[in-house]
Amino acid sequence: MNGVEEALTRAHHEEWARVVAALTRRFGDLDIAEEAAAEAFAAAVERWPAGGVPPNPGAWLTTTAVRKAIDRIRREHKRDDKHREARMPHDDTPAEPPGAIDDDRLRLIFTCCHPALATQTRVALTLRMVGGLTVPEIARAFLVAESAMGQRITRAKAKIKAARVPYRIPSAEDLPARVHGVLAVLFLVFNEGYLASGPGTDPVRHDLTAEAIRLTRLTRALMPRDAEVAGLLALMLLTEARRPARISASGELVALDEQDRGAWDATLIAEGHHLVRERLAAAAAGVAPGRYQILAAINAVHTSARDIRDTDWSQILALYDQLVRLDPSPIVALNRAVAVAELDGPEVALAIVDRLAEALAGYHAYHATRADLLRRLGRGQQSRAAYDRAIELAGNTGETAYLTRRRDQLR
Amino acid sequence: MRYLVSVIDDKSNPGSTDRQPAISAFNERLVAEGCWVFAGGLADTDAATVIDNRGEQAVFSDGPFVESKEYLAGLWIWEVPDLDVALTLATEASRACDRKIEVRPFQ
C-alpha cells in the first residue's frame, strides 16, 4: 500500500463516523449525511493521489461533505418550487470544538441502536453509519441480498426521520438500558464474526470481529467511565486473542481444551487482562459488575491458564454463579454446567443440563454439551444421538466438522 | 410533533376491565404536561360500519373493515417533542390500560 492509499484507509477508519455524525447534527438528516460523506470520500480517492493528502484530512473531508450536502439540498429545493426559500442552509458555522464532535459520534451510535428499530436493522445501520461499511459489504456479512439490505437501511433512515427519533444522548434514567442496547448490537456483530453462520462461509470472519472491536473501542473512548463498555471490550479482546488457535488447518473448530495456547495473541490478552483487573478493583470497591464484566472475567481466568489443567474452575464456577443471579437464562445455566462438570464430575453436570431440555431443545450447544458429558460417562449410544442432533442444528462449518469428528471417534 | 397512540386489545386474550381509574389519572398527567391533544375509547368493533362510495353507488357493510383477533380499542393523540418522549409515555400508557400500544407519527 502506498502513502496515499494508507492515508485514505486511515481517514476512512478514523473520520467516517465523525463526518457522518457532524453532518447529521448540522442537517438533521441521516440520509443526507450518509450520501454526502460517501461523496466526500469518493472525492478524496479521486483527488488525493494527484493533489496530495491534505494536512488535516478530517477537516478536508468534513468541509467537502458539507459542500456536497448543501449542493444536494439546493438541487432538491430547485426541483420543488414550494420549498425554494425554506430552510436554505448556509456554510458559515464555525468549526465545532473537538468535544462536541465526539458527542456527535455518540449521538449517532445511540440513534442507530434505537429501540424503535428491529435488532437486525440496528446492526446494519450501525455498521453503515458508524462503521462506514458499504451496503454490499454488510449484505455479504449477513448473507442477505444487496437490494434487501439497501432497503432495510433506507427504511430505517426514513423511520428515524418520520417518527422523529431524537439525535441525542439518552437521559440519565434511560442511559443504562440504552447503553446495553448499543453493546448488544456490537456483541452481535462480534459473535457473527466469531461463530459465523451459513454453510458457505468461513468459520471465523475476522473482518467482522475486527470491526466489532474497532467500534467497541470507539464507544469506550466516548464513554470511558462506563464499566460495561470496558467489560465488553475486554470480553472481545480475550475471545479474539484465541482466534489463531481456534480453527485447525483443515478448517475444523478446535475446542478450548485442545487449543495450542502458545498461538494465543499475548498482546490482546495483556490488554484484556488489564481491563478486567481495573473492573475487579472497582468491584472490590463495591461497584457490582454487569454481565459483560463477568463474562470478561471468566475469559480472563481461561486465558490465565498456560495449560488446560491449570484452569481455576472453582473461580469460573463462582463467576457463573454471579452471572446466574444477574441473568437466570437457560443458556447461562448451560455454560455454568460445563464448569460444574470439571469440579463435580460429568454426572452432576448432566443432571443440570437435562433440566434445560425443554428450553434449549433447538440450541446446538445444548446437544453438543450433552453429547460430551454422555461420552465422558461412557454412554456412547446416547452420546452419538446427541452429537447427531447438534450437527443437525449447528450453523458454523468449523463447528460441524468438529462435532462430526467427535461423534465418529465414539466407540 | 404529533403521534397517534393506538390502544390494541386482543379478543382471545383481552386486557382487564378495571383500568378506568388508572387511565383517568394518566390522562390528567398528559394534560398537566401539555402532551394531551385528544383521547377516546371506542365501542366494540361490531358497532362499526364500513362505507365504500368509490364505485357507482355507496355500499354499506356491517362490521369492521378487517376481521382480526387484535383490534383498535381506543386512541390518543399526543403532542410531544420527539419519539423518545412518546415511547416513555407509551410505556406508562400500556401499563395504565393493561393493553398493547402502537405509536405512529403523523406526517
Q: How do the domains of chain B map onto residue ranges? A: 2-105
Q: Which CATH architecture has domain B2-105?
A: 2-Layer Sandwich (3.30)
Q: For residue B77, how many other CB atoms are within 10 A of its CB?
A: 15
Total residue length of chain B: 107
User: Which residues, listed in sequence order, are joined to residue B36 by a DSSP beta bridge?
Assistant: B78
User: Which residues, listed in sequence order, are joined to residue B50 by a DSSP beta bridge?
Assistant: B61
The beta-carbon neighbor of A166 closest among B83, B103, B104 is B83
Contacts by B28-36, CB closer than 8 A, 24 or more apart: B30/B76, B30/B78, B30/B89, B34/B79, B35/B78, B35/B79, B35/B80, B35/B85, B35/B89, B36/B76, B36/B78, B36/B79
Whether A196 has a pLDDT exceeding 90, the answer reads no
Helix ranges, chain B (H): 20-32, 83-97
Whether A365 has a pLDDT exceeding 60, the answer reads yes
Residue of chain A whose alpha carbon sits nearest to that of B103 = A163
> Cβ separation of A166 and B88 shorter than 8 Å?
no
Whether B65 has a pLDDT exceeding 80, the answer reads yes
Tell which residue, B58, B62, B59, has the closest CA to residue B49.
Answer: B62
Rg (CA), chain A: 24
Whether A36 has a pLDDT exceeding 50, the answer reads yes
Q: Residue A349: is it exposed, middle or buried by C-beta count within 10 angstroms (0-12/13-18/19+)?
A: buried
pLDDT value at position A179?
Answer: 93
pLDDT value at position A90?
Answer: 45
A162 and B CB contact within 8 Å: yes
Q: Which residue has the higher pLDDT, A411 or A74?
A: A74
- The torsion region of residue B98 among left (phi > 0), alpha (psi -120 to 50) and beta comes to left
User: Which residues, listed in sequence order, are joined to residue B79 by a DSSP beta bridge?
Assistant: B2
Longest Cα–Cα distance of chain B, Å, equals 49
Interface list for chain B against chain A, based on CB atoms closer than 8 Å: 1, 81-84, 87-88, 103-105, 107
Q: For residue A368, how many other CB atoms are within 10 A of its CB?
A: 23
Residue A282 pLDDT grade (very low, low, confident, very high; cuts 50, 70, 90): confident
Burial readout A141-170 (b: 16 or more C-beta within 10 A, e: otherwise)? bbebeeeebbebbeebbebbeebbbbbebb
Q: For residues B68 and A165, give the distance between their C-alpha atoms in angstroms, rounded to a whole number.
A: 30
The interface predicted TM-score (ipTM) is 0.88
Chain A contact set for B5 (CB, 8 A)? none
Q: Compute the average pLDDT of residues A324-352.
A: 96
Q: For residue A242, how many other CB atoms are within 10 A of its CB?
A: 21
Tell which residue, B71, B64, B70, has the closest CA to residue B46.
Answer: B64
The beta-carbon neighbor of A163 closest among B81, B88, B105 is B105
- Backbone φ, ψ for residue A315 (5° rounding): -70, -40
The beta-carbon neighbor of A162 closest among B81, B84, B105 is B105
Q: Compute the average pLDDT of residues A100-118.
A: 86
Q: What is the pTM of this model?
A: 0.86
pLDDT value at position A82?
Answer: 56
CA A242 to mean position of chain CA atoms = 17
| Cβ atoms of A124 and A155 closer than 8 Å | no
Each domain of chain A, given as residue ranges in start order, spans: 4-86, 100-222
Tell which residue, A155, A151, A172, A166, has the closest CA to residue A115.
Answer: A166
Reading the block at residue A197, the C-alpha cell is 453462520
